[in-house]
């Protein structure tokens, strides 16, 4: 970061006296924008797609337990693809009310879609365990508009998705596993 600051300062300072006067302010703006451009990893803010590792499961468990949890949370399954070693489940966009922190941002309603993918854990043909991942996508509609837009996830939506992910983790770790 110090190197970037030095390079920017030298290039702007060599132009003319007006730029020399403005360059510290410009430099500060650039550094600030770099700091704000990414997502806040601790809170997840700025995330467009939420992703979580749910653990391991057999294909049978990935299918059965995913369906159970998603139906319990009122998600309707739109598409399922399976093969001998892969599982893909996608829900319909679930219409939901805006969370409190979304309302503060002028968001009127939200849509959430869940994707569950299970891929082989190892290369051994005898291994039936698969790594299971969850992805969640978010769209929102702002007040007085009719179009849905992809938007960064709010803290409350991320908390909801973390809780949903934890339900999957617990379900995959416990219960009867069919091999």
Structural domains in the chain? 2-37 (no CATH), 49-173 (3.30.530.50)
On average, the pLDDT of the chain sits at 79
Nearest partner of 117 among 54, 160, 50, 69, judged by Cα: 54
In the predicted model, what is the mean pLDDT of residues 64-87?
Answer: 94
State pLDDT tens for residues 5-52.
Answer: 444 344 434 444 333 433 443 333 333 333 333 333 344 557 899 999
- φ/ψ region of 21 (left if φ > 0, alpha if ψ in -120 to 50, else beta) reads alpha
DSSP H or E segment with residue 130: strand 130-142
Residue pLDDT, tens place only, 132-167: 999 999 999 999 999 999 999 999 999 999 999 999
pTM recorded for the entire structure: 0.71
**Which residues are within 8 A (CB) of 81 and not within 5 positions of it... i.e. 6 or more apart?**
87, 88
What the block records as the tokens of 41 is 């990893």
pLDDT tens sequence across 53-72: 999 998 899 999 999 999 99
């Amino acid at each position: 970061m110090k190197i970037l600051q030095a390079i920017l300062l030298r290039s702007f300072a060599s132009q003319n006296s007006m730029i020399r006067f403005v360059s510290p302010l410009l430099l500060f703006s650039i550094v600030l924008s770099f700091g704000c451009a990414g997502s806040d990893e601790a809170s997840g803010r700025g995330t467009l797609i939420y992703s979580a590792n749910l653990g391991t499961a057999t294909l049978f468990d990935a299918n059965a337990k995913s369906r159970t949890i998603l139906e319990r949370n009122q998600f309707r399954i739109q598409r399922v693809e399976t093969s001998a070693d892969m599982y893909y489940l996608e829900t319909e966009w679930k219409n939901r009310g805006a969370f409190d922190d979304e309302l503060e941002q002028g968001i009127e309603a939200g849509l959430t879609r869940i994707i569950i993918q299970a891929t082989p854990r190892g290369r051994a043909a005898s291994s039936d365990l698969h790594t299971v991942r969850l992805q969640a996508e978010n769209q929102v509609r702002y007040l007085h508009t009719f179009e849905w837009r992809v938007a960064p996830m709010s803290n409350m939506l991320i908390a909801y998705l973390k809780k949903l992910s934890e339900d999957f983790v617990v379900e995959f770790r416990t219960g009867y596993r069919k091999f």
